[in-house]
Structure 1
Amino acid sequence: FVALSDECDAQTASFLKREVSDGIIAPSYSPEALEILKSKRKGTYLILQMDPSYEPEEFERKQVFGVTFEQKRNDVKITEDCLKDIATKNHDLPESAKRDLLIALITLKYTQSNSVCYTKDGQAIGIGAGQQSRVHCTRLAGTKADNWFLRQSPQVLNLPFKPEVRRPDRDNAIDVYIGEEWEDLLETDDWKRVFTEKPPVFTREEKKAWLKKETGVSLGSDAFFPFGDNIERAHKSGVTYVAQTGGSIRDDNVIETADKYNMTMAMTHIRLFHH
């Protein structure tokens, strides 16, 4: 489902027309954009207009089997003030990293906890959500970030796709090609369905070599990191900048691990749990 903070114009609508989604919500739509979106999904595409002046209630309530739970709405403001307390020896935090860390924190504010988010170049590239362990969040999101970077490798960009293959089929083929189950595609006749010729195997060694080139990734966590193992895993996916709550009894271990890799880590002192 697509959510926009500004008016949906014709250029945005044209981009969305070929993307998979069930609906959109935006403050307003240009006449041209409306006409384009009305033709999506054979006229069943859901188009909603938000009220930018709407203010939700201060408290949220949920009833489960006769028990009513109540909590204050998470109205914390995600600004650069969240990044002022840098705990590591490295204090370097360029504007691009600030942007990416803020995007990660905003994403986490609305993502099911526990959650961790990797960002790069102004976009989320890996989200690990709803896990019982924070390091599992970090691993899950890191694997997604790795896949994002692997898709930009020469081995993937040069895959010999047949011109008639649709985008979803291309994406699915790439996902299998870069994954651990590549045999399902290359060791059967299935490759003939999407490729003009059989591509070479993208070996584990080649993947590792390519992933080592990834740097400058930002990582946000919706609560504190309890141990340095999260930072160890983040480093494998090119993380250079970190924003986390802080306040763990093992903060010293987490900071020491970040210093080992010359990372810049900010303590936000805010929890972004969403349940």
Structure 2
Amino acid sequence: MAVVSKKIPAPDLVPIRRALLSVSDKTGLIEFAKCLANIGVELVSTGGTAKSIAAEGIAVRDVSELTGFPEIMDGRVKTLHPSVHGALLGVRDDPEHAAAMAEHGIEPIDLVVVNLYPFEEVRDSGAHYASIVENIDIGGPAMVRASAKNHAYVAIVTDPADYKDVLDAIVANNGSLPYEMRKKLAAKAFARTAAYDAAISGWFAEALEIEMPDWRAFGGRLESVMRYGENPHQSAGFYLTGDKRPGVATATQLQGKQLSYNNINDTDAAFELAGEFDPVRTAAVAIIKHANPCGVAEGASLAEAYAKALACDPVSAFGGIVALNRILDAEAAEEIVKIFTEVIIAPAATPEAQAIVAAKKNLRLLVTGGLPDPDRAGLAVKSVAGGLLVQSRDNAVVDALDLNVVTKRQPTQREIEDMKFAFRVAKHVKSNAIVYARDLATVGIGAGQMSRVDSSRIAARKALDAAEAAGLAEPLTKGSVVASDAFFPFADGLLSAVEAGATAVIQPGGSMRDDDVIAAADEHGIAMIFTGVRHFRH
């Protein structure tokens, strides 16, 4: 049954006379405590926080003086006591609450400063199970939630970044905090505990290998507010979940203007594709536009790979995102800056490359320190009206697949390598996806069409345009291979590829008409491989 409010109005200003400080992250703590003490606020604290404050010669009461009970069980129990929670939850203008506080000697607490045990950091450190569990904070979230609920009388601060604003407000209001600020602090506090609990529940599901728990929570911290979303009339923000997978969220931006919503979306797509290529084996470059690749290639060097990738669709590459699987060097940087590029993302960049890119002041340069692991498990989340679609990340990699030749003609070794390359790329192209490749470079890409045969024709048309731009007598689809992200439902898609000049095909297979498609391939002397794995990307 719901609790009925007594409708006691909240005061506009609450004098800050007593503060309880209990923090794991001690950033800014001492200066904040000194300022509070200097304006006459009594300080109460716990454990290591109290020791840090006292060590600076600042007067502080240990919380055990309020509770009349020592910290026990390695500090697990210290603030879980009526003298603390009564001081936080008491509605001071309610006669019954005031009488209970007086009867039990409960002194009100006006300001609570709490940040939580570093669960997320310990989880990501590779610590063992027991250590991770030990870093699940209990008393902290309890105090945060109690204070936030009673924001009519208590201010709750969970972020050191808010210390200055809180102090300024106290000084500006002659020792009090206004109701509007208390409400905003409470809202932030509940969001923090929600994200904290989401991290814990998510870790438990992963540790226990529960793929789809009955309740699923997601949380993140605001990294930046975007100027707008996909379009200027949409608001947007970038939130970090704490996942350390190398990418935009973990990158250091060395230069350039702020990333936009579309920049982040496209850069993530680009770097995930670059991560498909082992940097020890090969240099690889992906050029992305509107979250789809417009050119991808491998090469002996990044500069060579970039030139091959750019040749696939030089028109679409203008204003695109360039992702690299190796350290950006001067040679590659010189080539990339020759056309307008929005973002370059790489594991690192040499000082010489950074100097070259610096000449383009608006060009964003991001370094990540590593590549995303293409076969690492993870979650992908998409919002729909009234819910969330959650699935495991597509971590199937072509090198681990059982490739089955289904045609009379066996593919050559060169065709096999090109087919594997094309299938890597097709995984990152919006469905329906068709990718033509030759000599470890895309030469035509068809993306996002409602019909697979249309994607095949568009890819061939793109190859013709690129050939004309390069002054070639015929498109590079002649003698190429083709990859399809899903099976050909009819032979027409394959015949379109044959018409474009493809000599070999890689596709998942699994259609009711596979026999018809195989027969068409045999009729035209085409080699075909089935992978058994589909790569839809909607």
Q: Same fold (TM over 0.5)?
A: yes
- Structure-2 change in CA distance of 1:83 and 1:258 (3 Å): farther
For 1:123, the aligned partner's letter is A
CA distance in 1, matches of 2:519, 2:437: 23
User: Aligned pair 1:215/2:534, yes or no?
Assistant: no
User: Aligned pair 1:260/2:526, yes or no?
Assistant: no
2:346 to 19, 26, 34: 26
Deviations 1:134-191 (A, max 9, x none): 1111111121123333445xxx46xxxxxxxxxxxxxxxxxxxxxxxxxxxxxxxxxx
Return the TM-score normalized by structure 2.
0.38
Aligned to 1:147, what secondary structure does the other structure show? helix
Q: How does 1:7-26 map to 2 (within 5 A)?
A: 7-26=327-346
- Unaligned runs of 5+ residues in structure 1 are 158-209
Deviations 1:112-142 (A, max 9, x none): 1111111112211111111111111111112
Q: How does 1:123-142 map to 2 (within 5 A)?
A: 123-142=441-460
User: Aligned pair 1:113/2:431, yes or no?
Assistant: yes
User: Aligned pair 1:86/2:405, yes or no?
Assistant: yes
Which residue does the alignment assign to 2:466? 148
CA distance in 2, matches of 1:214, 1:124: 9
CA distance in 1, matches of 2:465, 2:486: 25
Is the 1:242–1:265 contact (alpha carbons within 8 Å) kept by the matching residues of 2? Answer: yes
CA distance in 2, matches of 1:32, 1:102: 34
Aligned to 2:528, what secondary structure does the other structure show? strand
Which residue does the alignment assign to 1:238? 501
CA distance in 2, matches of 1:257, 1:21: 42
For 1:230, the aligned partner's letter is G
- Structure-2 change in CA distance of 1:20 and 1:260 (3 Å): farther
For 2:483, the aligned partner's letter is G
CA distance in 2, matches of 1:38, 1:122: 31
Is the 1:83–1:266 contact (alpha carbons within 8 Å) kept by the matching residues of 2? Answer: no
User: Aligned pair 1:98/2:423, yes or no?
Assistant: no
- Structure-2 change in CA distance of 1:54 and 1:127 (3 Å): closer
- Structure-2 change in CA distance of 1:103 and 1:54 (3 Å): closer
For 1:60, the aligned partner's letter is A
Bigger relative CO (Cα 8 Å, ≥ 6 apart) = 1
Return the TM-score normalized by structure 1.
0.73
Which residue does the alignment assign to 1:160? none
- Structure-2 change in CA distance of 1:247 and 1:54 (3 Å): closer
For 1:129, the aligned partner's letter is A
Compute the displacement of 1:84 (Å): 3.0
2:393 to 73, 81, 85: 73
Which residue does the alignment assign to 1:185? none
Aligned to 1:259, what secondary structure does the other structure show? helix
Q: Would you say how many aligned residue pairs link Structure 1 and Structure 2?
A: 216
User: Aligned pair 1:58/2:407, yes or no?
Assistant: no
CA distance in 2, matches of 1:71, 1:11: 40
CA distance in 2, matches of 1:3, 1:67: 33
CA distance in 1, matches of 2:523, 2:382: 44
CA distance in 2, matches of 1:219, 1:131: 16
Aligned to 2:460, what secondary structure does the other structure show? helix
Which residue does the alignment assign to 1:162? none
CA distance in 2, matches of 1:212, 1:60: 37
CA distance in 1, matches of 2:351, 2:477: 42
For 1:147, the aligned partner's letter is D
Deviations 1:42-64 (A, max 9, x none): x1110111142666762111223
- Structure-2 change in CA distance of 1:120 and 1:213 (3 Å): closer
CA distance in 1, matches of 2:477, 2:364: 38
Aligned to 1:70, what secondary structure does the other structure show? strand
- Structure-2 change in CA distance of 1:125 and 1:214 (3 Å): closer
Is the 2:397–2:424 contact (alpha carbons within 8 Å) kept by the matching residues of 1? Answer: no
Compute the displacement of 1:262 (Å): 0.5
CA distance in 2, matches of 1:220, 1:54: 23
- Structure-2 change in CA distance of 1:39 and 1:97 (3 Å): same
- Structure-2 change in CA distance of 1:150 and 1:90 (3 Å): farther
- Structure-2 change in CA distance of 1:53 and 1:21 (3 Å): closer
- Structure-2 change in CA distance of 1:44 and 1:133 (3 Å): same
- Unaligned runs of 5+ residues in structure 2 are 1-320
CA distance in 2, matches of 1:214, 1:21: 26
CA distance in 2, matches of 1:37, 1:213: 31
Compute the displacement of 1:259 (Å): 0.7
Compute the displacement of 1:256 (Å): 0.7
Is the 2:463–2:476 contact (alpha carbons within 8 Å) kept by the matching residues of 1? Answer: no
The percentage of aligned residue pairs carrying the same residue is 34
